[in-house]
Amino acid sequence: MAEQELKLHVPKEARAGVEKELLRGRVTRMRLQAFYFDTPDRHLIRAKIALRLRREGEQWVQTLKMPGENSLSRIEFNHERPTPDLDLSVYAETPVAAILEKHADALTICYETDVQRIFRQTRSAQGLVEIALDTGTLRAGSIELPISEIEFELKRGQLAAVFALGKKWQQTHGLILDVRSKSERGDRLASLSAELNAIDGHNSERNEAARQQVIAKFWSARTAEDIVLHPKIQAHAAIAAVSAECLDQIIRNAAILAEVDTAGVYQAGAAEHVHQLRVGIRRLRSAWSFFNGIAALPHEDLRAEIKLHFAKLGGTRDDDVLKETLLPVLSAAGQPALTLDNGAVEPETENVALSRAFQSWLLDMLAWVVLPAAPIPLTAALAPPSESEVQAVVVSDENPVTPLSTTRSLAIQARDALHASKARSTPEAPKAAVVVTSEPNAPTAASAERVLATMIKIQKPLVLKDALVKKLKKWHKRLLADGLQFDQLDIEARHELRKLGKKLRYALQFTESLLPSAKLKIYRKQLASVQNILGEMNDLAVARDRFIGLRDTQPSAWFACGWITSRLDALTHEACSAFKQLSRTETFWR
């Protein structure tokens, strides 16, 4: 069976309010003790399989879960067991039978959970949803993580019911979106426990430093991951897949900054989490720009709102670059003693991650990814038009595929106007011009023949790869148009050029599975060279502004300003050379 649920973390301060609201209906209480199995080398989790035995009241239930069609879906097999023993024979006819049989003898308990669950069901016009509040612990060896989460599981109806209910509770109680399952968290905790045990087995004075390094790695920031698009994927599915990966990067870094697991215990969130959160947002916005005119985008309000949250995340990376990268270089170059001020006071990024507005935006975006709008047909059957609705598409260089939801009238107007025009035409009286529009009442256009020809032309399936490559070529040409005269650009133009280069780099990441790898590798390497130079120039320009503000009180800041100016001049020459090299680099579309 398929399980579809939305999970939100319940902060400690919100728990009483959540439980009070849950108790407004008739609830069931149950203790759930679960043991999760895998091999020491984690063969099941690598195959994306979670296998557990759970005591539900007095009954033991064996459950196997696999990924479903989206991040909220799981394929689930449940079997009641008389004793807490595994019976793998029940999976004989499933796709996972072979891997379970291969590793059956090596299966052992890797981690466990002990949870108190309070749950009830609620109905709406969209469906039946079970609300379950879980509090307890997740344990692997001698280390634990808290469990404090509320799940909204669809029992019957539309998945939109889960989002509607989850959004209401999130807004009321300040809940935090967390896409990690208990099995994912448990597997990582088990790996951490094994690493710590290995360190503790060595009697070394460096043990504590090694432990801290392993623990820090456990909480490391979520970076961008590869995206694989099927060659025949439709445009709406492609942007959903790309958006899902970008959104996952955003959600996971935000969860650590919101201290989902660590509130009051450990400071896991760091500047790198803020940076990767911002990278995820930049990638998502680049995807919108890249697919604009090719696939339907999220509502304009959603796309505009993220700019506000992005701005509130602050520029903590600027200080990190200054202190960790630039100051050591300046010191080696002979920089006299210099005391940095604290810079502009940045907003607390944890508060952004915790804010109801930001978490609401995350839920809305996740809903858009999981519940995409009706797919846009990439073909149009227009002859002969029927009484049913038809789809017209206007094609232009700027907007290659812009759908116009319309009715039969548009196609009929074009056909009938063309017939009328032909009937009236004589050698002395040329065909009348006709207007074909999406307005319900009316029409005169420039050429019904051209409109119908365009409609008939797009009956051919649109190859997504071709549309995306066309956009890549366009951005590449724009980048070179300014890049080849880089030394003549002002600061603002250089800044915009750097942003365009980032968009192009992200777009290549989105589409690399559709492109020839050998040529793409060469091109991407040269583009990275350009990006590195522009990135260093941007960091130096920001730092120079900081040092300029110190010159009146600390004359030694003049040295830093002079050194940076000299370095920027050298980088300008390097940038010009890099752009020339990029213009000569063989592109993957030739």
- Please, what are the domains in the chain? 2-200 (2.40.320.10), 219-370 (no CATH), 391-457 (no CATH), 464-584 (1.40.20.10)
Residue 248 CA to residue 179 CA, distance in Å, equals 8
Out of 30-34, 182-186, 296-300, 410-414, least confident range: 410-414
pLDDT in tens, 264-288: 888 898 889 999 999 999 999 999 9
pLDDT at position 395 is: 37
The mean per-residue pLDDT over the stretch 539-555 comes to 91
Using the predicted structure, report yes or no on whether residue 486 has a pLDDT greater than 90: yes
255: number of Cβ within 10 Å: 23
Q: What's the mean pLDDT when you consider all of the chain? A: 85
- The model's confidence at residue 518, banded by pLDDT at 50, 70 and 90, is confident
> 501: burial class by Cβ within 10 Å (0-12, 13-18, 19+)?
buried
pLDDT at position 408 is: 37
Residue with the bigger pLDDT between 70 and 409: it is: 70
pLDDT at position 349 is: 63
Give me the percent of the chain exceeding a pLDDT of 90: 68
Q: Can you tell me which residue has the tokens 């897949």? A: 241
pLDDT at position 350 is: 62
Residue 453 CA to residue 459 CA, distance in Å, equals 10
- The model's confidence at residue 516, banded by pLDDT at 50, 70 and 90, is confident
- The model's confidence at residue 72, banded by pLDDT at 50, 70 and 90, is confident
458 contacts: CB under 8 Å, gap ≥ 6 = 378, 379, 380, 393, 395
Q: How far apart are the first and last CA of the chain?
A: 48
The dihedral formed by the CA atoms of 484, 488, 491 and 492, expressed in degrees to the nearest 10: -70
Using the predicted structure, report yes or no on whether residue 394 has a pLDDT greater than 50: no
Q: Print burial letters for 58-88: b (CB count within 10 Å at least 16), e (below 16).
A: eebbbbbbbeeebbbbbbeeeeebeeeebeb
Using the predicted structure, report yes or no on whether residue 576 has a pLDDT greater than 80: yes
Find the radius of gyration of the CA atoms of the chain.
29
Closest CA to 8 of 328, 535, 362, 512: 362
pLDDT at position 441 is: 45
pLDDT at position 203 is: 62
The mean per-residue pLDDT over the stretch 118-141 comes to 96
Using the predicted structure, report yes or no on whether residue 149 has a pLDDT greater than 50: yes
The mean per-residue pLDDT over the stretch 460-479 comes to 87
pLDDT in tens, 285-329: 999 999 999 999 999 999 999 999 999 887 556 677 788 789 999
- The model's confidence at residue 417, banded by pLDDT at 50, 70 and 90, is very low
The mean per-residue pLDDT over the stretch 410-418 comes to 45
pLDDT at position 69 is: 85
The 3-state DSSP class for residue 440 equals coil
pLDDT at position 498 is: 95
pLDDT in tens, 342-388: 554 455 566 899 999 999 999 999 999 998 654 444 433 233 433 33
Using the predicted structure, report yes or no on whether residue 195 has a pLDDT greater than 50: yes
The mean per-residue pLDDT over the stretch 59-69 comes to 94
The mean per-residue pLDDT over the stretch 531-538 comes to 94
- The model's confidence at residue 217, banded by pLDDT at 50, 70 and 90, is very high
pLDDT at position 507 is: 96
- The model's confidence at residue 204, banded by pLDDT at 50, 70 and 90, is low
The mean per-residue pLDDT over the stretch 231-258 comes to 95
Using the predicted structure, report yes or no on whether residue 168 has a pLDDT greater than 50: yes
The mean per-residue pLDDT over the stretch 572-579 comes to 97
Q: Can you tell me which residue has the tokens 């990275």? A: 528
Tokens of residue 504, six digits: 């192009």
378: number of Cβ within 10 Å: 22
pLDDT in tens, 427-462: 444 443 333 344 444 444 444 455 445 544 444 455
Residue 517 CA to residue 527 CA, distance in Å, equals 15
pLDDT at position 315 is: 58
Using the predicted structure, report yes or no on whether residue 229 has a pLDDT greater than 80: yes
Residue 321 CA to residue 326 CA, distance in Å, equals 6
